[in-house]
Structure 1
Amino acid sequence: MGTEMVDVEAQIDREDQSPANRPVTLKFEEVIYNIKINKGGILKKNAQAEEKKILRGVSGVVLPGEMLAMLGPSGSGKTTLLTALGGRLGGRLAGNITYNGRPFSNAMKRNTGFVTQDDALYPHLTVAETLVFTALLRLPRTLTKLEKVQQAEAVISQLGLTRCRDSIIGGPLLRGVSGGERKRVSIGQELLINPSLILLDEPTSGLDSTIAQRIVSKLWELSNGGRTIVMTIHQPSSRLYYMFHKVLLLSEGNPLYFGKGSGALDYFASVGFAPSLAMNPADFLLDLANGVSTADSNEDQAAIKQKLVSAYETNLSDNVKSELDIDYQRHESTTDDRQFRGWPTTWWEQFSVLLRRGIKERKHSSFSGLQMAQVLAISILCGLLWWQSDISHLQDQVGLFFFYAGFWGFYPLFQAIFTFPQERMMLAKERASGMYRLSSYFMALTLGDLPMELVLPTGFVVITYWMAGLKPTPQCFFSGLFVLLYSVLCAQGLGLAIGAVVMHQKSATVLGSVIMLAFLLASGYYVQNVPKFIAWIKYISISQHTFKLLLRSQYKPGETYPCGSGKTCFVEDFPAVKSVGIDGQAASVLAMAVMLVGYRVIAYVALMRIGVPKR
């Protein structure tokens, strides 16, 4: 085992120091990107959509073994261009982007590593678990499980993550690894596939100079191994700046400079913009991109930017075009795109890995001490309030079943509503990289949540049923339990659908509250004589069907209860029961089955738009 591990590490080290298996020459020519903005606002009748130019004819070439840094102030178009180069930007994109002379393809997607600015990582997984799960999903099926794990371990060693391999990633409210270690984990996820093209969005953002230096140094080593590396970076130190082979300076979507990093100061001096004192070249370039010139501090910023744009068109544009026209035949890829038409792993492998990963991550939230204490406290309180009630207190028992339907409608709904909004970044990142099918992800999430979603309501029924003194027969108990679990699954499906469609936690919460309250109000307990023009709500109400089935699990037609003065009355004639009825349970079971499946279909269809560029 130890010898095999050393062999894998040595193999990866050799790959880093030698030309990449499929070197990539990246060319982008006259890239233009526009977006539509609603100038008048969505509430104004005369609102007009105007186009805003994000990129204005940006061109450049990056060869294998080169590292390009894209500099510019916020809003200059750096991230937009990087996203376009990664094949993840749709819409009104014009220009020509080629990889070894070819357009973006499945082969290129599987040969590209894309590191986003915000590290989309699961907070409760350890560093080793994060990289191993990624390896199991992204590495080809020709490798065994052991070989994939070994490659993940080799990347851990390669990026200096051995010390924290068993530490959790952490998040805003959960202490975990440091920011630099998180960034290295994100880079490690992309290095697992040994990509020839690596794109990074602000890899040093929020890091101190020492950690930033370490990360860029590692990227510089990877570029020397024959990889093509492109990154956006906001304000690098001078030490970092001189590591870049090429620099692209952007201002409001316009290119101001493209060429060797070491030649930028000489170029700007030749067009009349020289620094008045020794300073970090990156700071000087950013000043120029913001329209600030040390030569003439009184000159208008817009005028300075226009001069720089004109200087680029006059002095550099032709040189860039000449470089684009060079035929780099030696870098042509021999990779057959047909082998990348399928997925790296089978559907079943994707499902099993995603299922294990999902259970490991979500068990912490589903079985958190706070949630378990909440359900336990409410269970005991309900048991005490309805302590040993019998059929002589029929109104109380009916009220308990309505509480069952209401509480276990809201609780799983709000648990599920947050699922997809919280997973959106991760899903978008992994789908864009072609890691797995949406169907395998959705099935793994749905089935993986079942045991976690059903344990708490089961415990709730076990406690409250016997404390409340309901019928102590196995048939009545298990019927009530199964009805409640059935209701939980329907409410969970509704929550998943709302979350997937809205994808905004606050808005989804409001919408979910309105829908569930409408279901409760129309369920026949609060209002027993619902007007016909709005009575249709009860047919789509989870609460109404659950309430009906819970009553049927406890009472049978013809059953009586004492109604005063020695009289007995039929349970089905009790006002709170009569409005709902205890017959027609087959229709309620069928209606809930349609909801259980239908809500999840809606959620699945809504998720299909995530991680796929709009064309």
Structure 2
Amino acid sequence: MKHRKSVLDALKLPPPPAYDLSIQGLSIGVPPPERYLPLPVPIPYPAFLSKNKDLAYLEQTIIHDVDVRCGSGEVLAIIGGSGSGKSTLLSAIVGRLANLPVKQGELSFAPTSLSTANFQTLSARQMKDKIGFVPQNDYLLPNLTVRETLHYAAALRLPASIDSTTRRTVVDQTLDELGLTDVADTVIGGFGGLRKGISGGERRRVSIACILVALPSVIVLDEPTSGLDAFTAYEILLTLSELAKRNRTIILSLHQPRSDAYNLFTRLLLLSKGSVVYSGFTSKCLPWFESLGFRPEVGVNPLDFLIDISSVEMGDDAKREASRAQVDRLVKAWKDDGKAYSADKSVRWSRRVSKEVGAAPTKDFAGQGATALKALFNADEGDAALRRPGLISQAISLTSRANKNTMRNHGQTLGYAVQAVVIGVMLGGSFFRLKGTPTTLCFQNQAAYFYLTIVYSVYRYCNELVVFDRERADHLYKAVPWILSEVVANLSINIIFPGLFSIILYFMAGMRTDNLAENLFIFIASTVLVQLGSIGFALIAASTVREFASASLMANGTSIFFFLSVGYALLQPPVYVNWIRFINVYWYGFRITSISQFRGRTFDCVGVTGVAANQCRGDQVLVGLLIPPEDPLWKYFVPLLGVVIGFNALATVLLAYWHPGGVKHAAKSGSHKKRPTPESDMDIVRQKIHVEVKGLGLSWVRPSHLIMSEQRKKILNNVNFTCPAGQITAIMGPSGAGKSSILQLLAGRKMNAGPFAHFQREGSILFDGHPLSRDQSEMVSYVEQEDEYHLPALTVRETLRYAAILRLPRTMSRRSKLARAEEMIGMLGLEDCANNLVGGPVLKGISGGEKRRLSLAVEMLNNPAVLIVDEVTSGLDAATANVVTLHQPRSDIYKLLDNVVVLAKGGKMAYAGPRKNVEPTFNAQGFVIPEFFNPADFLLDVISIDHRPENEKATKERVAGIVAHWAEQEKKEAGENEPDSQKVEIHEPLHQESRLTPMWIALPTILERSFRNMWRQQPVFWVRIQQTPLMGALFLLFYQRLKHGPQGGQDRIGYFQQILGSLPFVGLLNSVAIFPPERDLFFHEYNSSAAYSTATFTLATTIVEAPFTFVANLLLGLFMNLLAGLTTSPRIYFQFVASTFAVQSMGESVGIIFSAFTPSMGLSVSLVSTILSIMMQFSGLTSLSVPQWLQDLAWATPLKTAARILVINEASGLQLDCPPETIVSGECLVQNGQDLLNLFGWDDYDTGKYVGIMMACCVGWRLLAWISLMIKARGW
């Protein structure tokens, strides 16, 4: 295969400075067990409290005594089985070990251009700007195109001395090198499921491209070919090999390298469970193992051979123990004699390095950008040519990037728009044309004090800061330009939508119309600034702690200080919290709006005379609110702007110096120690099923809408093949060939087309001649390409045991089901990680390969009749009809296949039939498979398009010819087989037992699983108990014991408003923190053999939630009923607890309803916040001018009845001390409990009846949540 030019060759640019890597005796330990105090921000237990705990972890290591070297111009490949420590070693090389301790050893980089006298090694931290690291996971902004992503990567990563023309040339060449030209103008997609975007393989290439555009000296890649087809994987390795020849040091880990990649690696490091099996030159590797009696067979991929002999076999105990003994022998042999065998005595490693070693000749470099890069690469440390863009350049690039990403986030924009319009209309309806009477004026100022939710902003930043943490680890930019870019990029949204809300509310509520332009502008300006302050405060919370559960608890708890010091709900806060108003954006906003609306204004209080008429003067209203009417507005506007700036400045400091983000490594769980289990009595006999695909076509269509024209993309084009029972059928093809789409259609899974789009399907898929119905889906198991649906805080063994109980027939005993789980652990080689936590995005658990095998083990538990696997390389049982996709199949795996389906890009058929006929079919077209060449790699090579300009036209013609040849052959075979086609259609109907696991089996299992998962996530566990009573304790700081003075009535109204207004959001936060992972697992299991009813899942969710909510509200009642000085008795106390419980539970139910339908939690949180805000306005506690039909509608929520229960119970026997002058001034709103009830106009005081209605509403909302889940699960 012809080698492609590197970026440097194409541009005739000089290579970067060269560095050599040296690792000597490196050992890395396991993370210490971490226990945290139950606080919003996780703080470890003090050392003296845990000093007597188990210290066995101190003796354990992940990496043990590793020696390895890699010089400039060399490629080091780190290989080994899953869990061998490859990713951990790479993390050490780039200085990102997080909480993993280095037990011993040395890791350093040495510049090759220095003489012996000037020689000085550098640590990984000192090499931070010269190392490009591609992690195993992709962190990309979803709404940018591929070209834009690389453009901004180059702008941020390349030094400022590189001009824009050179940067564009580097980006274009990188797109060509990595085969991304076809998707250069396609968005990345992926986040939240609202944009389909590019494929997983293409996303992987973009991550690599982001590093390559920076032209680093050392490139470190963790599984760079993961998810790629063999052709693209080889092209990437070839590109890396060519880059190494230009003085790069390339270090990468691999799990499935193809045979012709062997010679691309200069050095190999073979690991097994963290120990070295071989470390040295590739040329000396096979001779070493031959000396130990291990010789690869002819035609076997040497890299596969090395991984096989150094891995513990899956299967029965005898094979497992024999292979384990073999690995131990290999490790010991290398420890005893390997270092002497691989000793490198070259001059460079003896630290006698001449200036010429690795120096790049410059006479040939004369091209675009050569001068700038030559100066850059020849610069000394600290030279200006090496400096990356400064703060201003960073801010400009980040602002442009953030602006595009924000403007294209249609889900977020829609949420903002809905929130602004709906809340504006509903608030306007609640305060619609308030009359000017003393009774209603006390409510009119409430329109100036509305709840600007910060919930969505906390959620958004908790997600976006993951990308920030990743890019900060690469030292791309500082915190200051990132903050500036966020503020500027979102400024238009934060002006337009709050402005729209303000205009709607202003005119619907009948606010001040004299000097309309001035007063409306003041209202809009105040609203916008308060919105910006709210978002800045949300950023502070997310900057302090990244987990949404903890960040939302912190934001919700702290915001209570702000809302209670505003001066409306509580006129005179205690002196020790009164200072908070000076940093409170809501305090300034309330005063600005109150002064502009009431100063110098007289209300037409019809029929009101005498002393009461004084309350119809706006200045008196301000006096009652303790606001000096003569205060100028700038006195509040200036500090309001200062607080907004201060919040963002504090967030900047936190982001710069406080680093809570990143991935932590999970400690091994001590639960479920392996113990003897009986033999599985697995006796499930599946009907053999023949799968047939006829004329299958799939198109993505987005119809024309307003200014958008119709778009259509063909994904599958007339696909025909069969999957005989008892045989393995593999679907192969390059990225974008539609392999995963076929599997989703075979498994009957719904596909997400994105907003305003849908899929059009043609043809048929038959299982023994019949379409697969939903009730028969247990017979088909589908292993998805992504493995993120596992609960992160469960161990591998626990995950399999719970799955076995749910998936296996009810006729099997629990003991036998657990034995089947243990059998799968042994069959798929998961013994060594069986007690390790699975892990998730922020908790590093088992390796990617182990997680893949776990997903396969879960689906194989019940011995399905049809097993559909998206990307798998091992563990298949030939007794079932297996349909798999393969990106990089090994040659020995290819020989296990019975049938092969080859697809070209665009879902076009290139071959479908028995594996034995592949060679004759392609030979007839002139494509002869070379001897000793992996046939699977050959097929992918000939069917893939090489996007280099010099090869693109020829390869497209070649692929088109192969597709046309197969189409002709299909027509010919169809004509020959037509007389027999009717015979295939006659089949016995499929038969199986009910697919749903009974509730009496599923419910206890789900409950145990959920409690265990939540208990191990301590922040989430404690948040559910802490958040509600913490809110009560904070309220108590402000209200203390409610007084019986002139402000007593207004204080009590504000007190109840705060309670009922906050609790639904507490329920929402609890739902968002724990429900989405459980929801994803439920929907996955509902479509599998583990299916249980939506009623079971809803009941389990309720049972898990209810005790926490009830205990939390019992504690809340102690603070807010007993200690606050409300009227109380045993009846009143428990009615108070019942009211707060019902309101909080409704918040959780609403959260479940919306998250069931919206894949984007950001949109869900925004919509739920809107709904809860609206519900509060209709409760009858906030406004007296709610239209009658809305008042009637409010009876469907617990808020209305809860408000009546709290007010009626407090009014019984209430007597306030109101001197006459306070009545005249308007300071005393009500004088006794009856006045309080008269203010609201209620005449029915039966709280027992209200409790019954309220609890019925609570149950009703949970039933609505169940119905929503059922609609979503069944696809109605």
Spell out the pairing of 1:519-538 with structure 2 (5 A cutoff).
Answer: 519-527=562-570
Structure 1 residues 253 and 576: alpha-carbon distance in aligned structure 2, compared to 1, 3 A threshold: farther
Q: Deviations over 1:423-473 (max 9, x none)?
A: 334333433334333322222222332222121101111122122211112
Structure 1 residues 322 and 122: alpha-carbon distance in aligned structure 2, compared to 1, 3 A threshold: same
Shift of 1:312: 1.3
**Corresponding residue for residue 308 of structure 1:** 330
Take 1:17 and 1:248, find their aligned partners in 2: how far apart are those partners?
33
Shift of 1:179: 2.4
> Secondary structure of 2:109's partner?
strand
| Residue identity matched to 2:187 | I
| Contact map agreement 2:63 2:89 (CA 8 A) in 1 | yes
> Secondary structure of 1:143's partner?
coil
Give the alignment partner of residue 257 of structure 1, picking from 274, 278, 282: 278
Q: Are 1:445 and 2:489 counterparts?
A: no
**Corresponding residue for residue 356 of structure 1:** 400
Structure 1 window deviating more from structure 2 (94-103 vs 198-207): it is: 94-103
Structure 1 residues 279 and 149: alpha-carbon distance in aligned structure 2, compared to 1, 3 A threshold: closer
Take 2:621 and 2:512, find their aligned partners in 1: how far apart are those partners?
21
Q: Are 1:22 and 2:17 counterparts?
A: yes
Q: Are 1:216 and 2:250 counterparts?
A: no
Structure 1 residues 546 and 19: alpha-carbon distance in aligned structure 2, compared to 1, 3 A threshold: closer
Take 1:35 and 1:572, find their aligned partners in 2: how far apart are those partners?
68
Shift of 1:34: 3.7
Give the alignment partner of residue 476 of structure 2, picking from 435, 443, 448: 435
Q: Are 1:317 and 2:317 counterparts?
A: no
Spell out the pairing of 1:69-88 with structure 2 (5 A cutoff).
Answer: 69-88=77-96
**Corresponding residue for residue 1009 of structure 2:** none
Structure 1 window deviating more from structure 2 (476-485 vs 34-43): it is: 34-43
**Corresponding residue for residue 167 of structure 1:** 186
> Secondary structure of 1:121's partner?
coil
Q: Are 1:398 and 2:445 counterparts?
A: yes
> Secondary structure of 2:447's partner?
helix
**Corresponding residue for residue 652 of structure 2:** 604
**Corresponding residue for residue 96 of structure 1:** 107
Take 1:428 and 1:354, find their aligned partners in 2: how far apart are those partners?
15
Structure 1 residues 290 and 42: alpha-carbon distance in aligned structure 2, compared to 1, 3 A threshold: farther
| Contact map agreement 1:417 1:498 (CA 8 A) in 2 | yes
Shift of 1:596: 2.0
| Residue identity matched to 2:333 | A
Structure 1 window deviating more from structure 2 (387-396 vs 599-608): it is: 387-396
> Secondary structure of 1:219's partner?
helix
Shift of 1:483: 1.7
| Contact map agreement 1:169 1:176 (CA 8 A) in 2 | yes
Structure 1 residues 175 and 540: alpha-carbon distance in aligned structure 2, compared to 1, 3 A threshold: same
Structure 1 residues 164 and 365: alpha-carbon distance in aligned structure 2, compared to 1, 3 A threshold: closer
| Residue identity matched to 1:135 | A
Q: Are 1:466 and 2:514 counterparts?
A: no
Take 1:611 and 1:370, find their aligned partners in 2: how far apart are those partners?
29
Take 2:162 and 2:542, find their aligned partners in 1: how far apart are those partners?
37
Instruction: Provide the alpha-carbon RMSD of the alignment.
Output: 3.8
Give the alignment partner of residue 422 of structure 2, picking from 358, 370, 377: 377
> Secondary structure of 1:206's partner?
coil
Take 2:662 and 2:432, find their aligned partners in 1: how far apart are those partners?
58
| Contact map agreement 1:562 1:569 (CA 8 A) in 2 | no
Structure 1: any 5+ residue segments left out of the alignment?
1-8
Structure 1 window deviating more from structure 2 (499-508 vs 526-535): it is: 526-535
| Contact map agreement 1:523 1:538 (CA 8 A) in 2 | yes
Structure 1 residues 501 and 288: alpha-carbon distance in aligned structure 2, compared to 1, 3 A threshold: farther
Give the alignment partner of residue 163 of structure 2, picking from 139, 144, 154: 144
Take 1:535 and 1:18, find their aligned partners in 2: how far apart are those partners?
64
| Contact map agreement 2:107 2:124 (CA 8 A) in 1 | no
Structure 1 residues 156 and 207: alpha-carbon distance in aligned structure 2, compared to 1, 3 A threshold: closer
**Corresponding residue for residue 58 of structure 1:** 66
Take 1:448 and 1:116, find their aligned partners in 2: how far apart are those partners?
28
Give the alignment partner of residue 114 of structure 1, picking from 118, 133, 136: 133
Spell out the pairing of 1:125-140 with structure 2 (5 A cutoff).
Answer: 125-140=144-159
Structure 1 residues 277 and 136: alpha-carbon distance in aligned structure 2, compared to 1, 3 A threshold: closer
Q: Are 1:267 and 2:288 counterparts?
A: yes
Structure 1 residues 62 and 531: alpha-carbon distance in aligned structure 2, compared to 1, 3 A threshold: closer
> Secondary structure of 1:149's partner?
helix
Q: Deviations over 1:7-46 (max 9, x none)?
A: xx98936269998353333222223334541277768843
| Contact map agreement 2:432 2:508 (CA 8 A) in 1 | yes
Shift of 1:536: 6.1
| Contact map agreement 1:100 1:331 (CA 8 A) in 2 | no
| Residue identity matched to 2:647 | Y
> Secondary structure of 2:19's partner?
coil
| Contact map agreement 2:178 2:235 (CA 8 A) in 1 | no
Take 2:645 and 2:320, find their aligned partners in 1: how far apart are those partners?
67
> Secondary structure of 1:176's partner?
coil
Q: Are 1:46 and 2:50 counterparts?
A: yes
| Contact map agreement 2:75 2:265 (CA 8 A) in 1 | yes
> Secondary structure of 1:250's partner?
strand
| Residue identity matched to 1:461 | S
Corresponding pairs, count: 600
| Contact map agreement 1:16 1:222 (CA 8 A) in 2 | no
| Contact map agreement 1:70 1:249 (CA 8 A) in 2 | yes
Higher relative contact order (CA 8 A, sep 6+): 1
Shift of 1:588: 5.4
**Corresponding residue for residue 554 of structure 1:** 597
Structure 1 residues 19 and 279: alpha-carbon distance in aligned structure 2, compared to 1, 3 A threshold: farther
| Contact map agreement 2:600 2:619 (CA 8 A) in 1 | no
Q: Deviations over 1:319-339 (max 9, x none)?
A: 445454475545356652131
Structure 1 residues 376 and 42: alpha-carbon distance in aligned structure 2, compared to 1, 3 A threshold: closer
Q: State, as a whole percentage, how many aligned pairs show the same letter.
A: 27
Shift of 1:292: 4.1
Give the structure-1-normalised TM-score.
0.84
Take 1:313 and 1:543, find their aligned partners in 2: how far apart are those partners?
67
Structure 1 residues 90 and 117: alpha-carbon distance in aligned structure 2, compared to 1, 3 A threshold: closer
| Residue identity matched to 2:648 | R
| Residue identity matched to 1:382 | L
**Corresponding residue for residue 187 of structure 1:** 208
Q: Are 1:339 and 2:387 counterparts?
A: no
Take 1:303 and 1:522, find their aligned partners in 2: how far apart are those partners?
70
| Contact map agreement 2:498 2:528 (CA 8 A) in 1 | yes
Take 1:260 and 1:325, find their aligned partners in 2: how far apart are those partners?
17
**Corresponding residue for residue 1205 of structure 2:** none
* Structure of greater Rg: 2
Give the structure-2-normalised TM-score.
0.43
Take 2:160 and 2:71, find their aligned partners in 1: how far apart are those partners?
30
**Corresponding residue for residue 205 of structure 1:** 226
Spell out the pairing of 1:455-534 with structure 2 (5 A cutoff).
Answer: 455-472=496-513, 473=515, 474-527=517-570
Shift of 1:262: 5.6
Take 2:528 and 2:34, find their aligned partners in 1: how far apart are those partners?
49
Q: Deviations over 1:291-326 (max 9, x none)?
A: 449997363776555433321111212344545447
Structure 1 residues 280 and 581: alpha-carbon distance in aligned structure 2, compared to 1, 3 A threshold: same
Take 1:530 and 1:613, find their aligned partners in 2: how far apart are those partners?
40
Take 2:130 and 2:535, find their aligned partners in 1: how far apart are those partners?
38
| Residue identity matched to 1:357 | R
Structure 1 window deviating more from structure 2 (18-27 vs 171-180): it is: 18-27
Give the alignment partner of residue 234 of structure 1, picking from 252, 255, 268: 255
